[in-house]
């Protein structure tokens, strides 16, 4: 495995803190804390959670039986160069291929192996609960946007919203995951990245058979 070296001046956390009230349509996590266990020497906790809440990465098997689980992604998939695509449209809307190419014309083209970070500002609604963040609508990718990312051979796509398509569809997931492009959902703090380029670094537990897993994703600028 060849993990690239990067230099940086600032680290930006692109991940939401974990808690039991994150906006989601999936089962919410539960944390149970225990004090003075093991003969009174330690405090511990148990965490029960669905991996598709919070900032997380999807595996191909999330949308198709027999496709790879989360441990099939390369361990360094989240490490490397990234491009920020600014759309600035929180709420219900569709991001098209022309939206992506318009950003490229201003800031430079997506290169093969780049990650793409979609900044719509929808993450600003995270703290207002499920209704504002999910039920009232969120940005989605169009099919031609997904196909354009595939044509540019991006390393992964990260979005600052709930899902790349509405809850009653899975075609964007299938397009990207089926072409070897992981999807990282519910990222945040993209407004803190100055300019259109940065590097990202992150890792994830290689849970055998899992359809997704939480990630801690950092931007290096």
Domain hosting 176: range is: 11-23+51-220
The closest of 46, 154, 60 to 100, measured between CA atoms, is: 154
In whole angstroms, what separates CA 49 from the centre of its chain?
A: 17
Question: Where are the alpha helices (H) located in 16-142, listed in sequence order?
Answer: 37-40, 97-107, 129-130
Confidence (pTM): 0.92
> Does a structural domain hold residue 138?
yes
Task: Look at the chain and report how many structural domains it folds into.
Answer: 1
> Does a structural domain hold residue 120?
yes
In this predicted model, what pLDDT tens digit does every residue of 89-120 receive, in sequence order?
899 999 999 999 999 999 999 999 999 999 99
Residue 167: CATH number of its domain? 3.50.30.50
> Does a structural domain hold residue 3?
no
Beta bridge partners of 202: 217
The closest of 1, 4, 191 to 113, measured between CA atoms, is: 4
Per the CB < 8 A criterion, the answer to whether 153 and 181 are in contact is: no
> Does a structural domain hold residue 44?
no
Cβ-based neighbours of 130, under 8 Å, separated by 6 or more: 23, 24, 25
Position 88 scores a pLDDT of 85
> Does a structural domain hold residue 43?
no
Position 1 scores a pLDDT of 44
> Does a structural domain hold residue 38?
no
Strands 216-220, 212-214: pairing kind: unpaired
Ordered per-residue pLDDT tens for the chain, 221 residues: 454 545 567 999 999 998 888 998 888 888 888 877 777 888 888 888 899 999 999 999 999 988 999 999 999 999 999 999 999 889 999 999 999 999 999 999 999 999 999 999 999 999 999 999 999 999 999 999 999 999 999 999 999 999 999 989 999 999 999 999 999 999 999 999 999 999 999 999 999 999 999 999 999 99
Position 7 scores a pLDDT of 57
Position 6 scores a pLDDT of 53
Per the CB < 8 A criterion, the answer to whether 52 and 24 are in contact is: yes
> Does a structural domain hold residue 37?
no
> Does a structural domain hold residue 104?
yes
DSSP state of 55: S
């Amino acid at each position: 495995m060849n993990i690239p070296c990067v230099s940086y001046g600032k680290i930006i956390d692109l991940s939401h803190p974990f808690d039991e009230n994150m906006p989601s349509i999936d089962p919410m996590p539960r944390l149970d804390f225990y004090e003075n266990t093991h003969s009174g020497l330690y405090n511990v906790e148990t965490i029960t959670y669905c991996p598709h809440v919070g900032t997380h990465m999807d595996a191909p098997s999330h949308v198709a039986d027999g496709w790879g689980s989360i441990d099939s992604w390369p361990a360094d998939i989240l490490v490397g160069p990234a491009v920020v695509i600014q759309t600035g449209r929180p709420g219900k809307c569709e991001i098209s291929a022309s939206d992506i190419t318009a950003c490229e014309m201003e800031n430079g083209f997506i290169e093969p192996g780049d990650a793409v970070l979609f900044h719509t500002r929808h993450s600003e609604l995270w703290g207002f609960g499920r209704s504002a963040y999910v039920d009232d609508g969120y940005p989605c990718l169009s099919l031609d946007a997904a196909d354009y990312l595939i044509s540019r051979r991006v390393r992964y796509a990260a979005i600052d919203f709930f899902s790349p398509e509405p809850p009653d569809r899975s075609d964007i997931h299938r397009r990207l995951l089926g072409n070897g492009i992981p999807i990282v959902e519910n990222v945040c703090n993209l407004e803190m990245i100055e300019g259109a380029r940065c590097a990202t670094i992150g890792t994830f537990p290689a849970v055998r058979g899992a359809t997704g897993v939480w990630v801690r994703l950092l931007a290096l600028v």
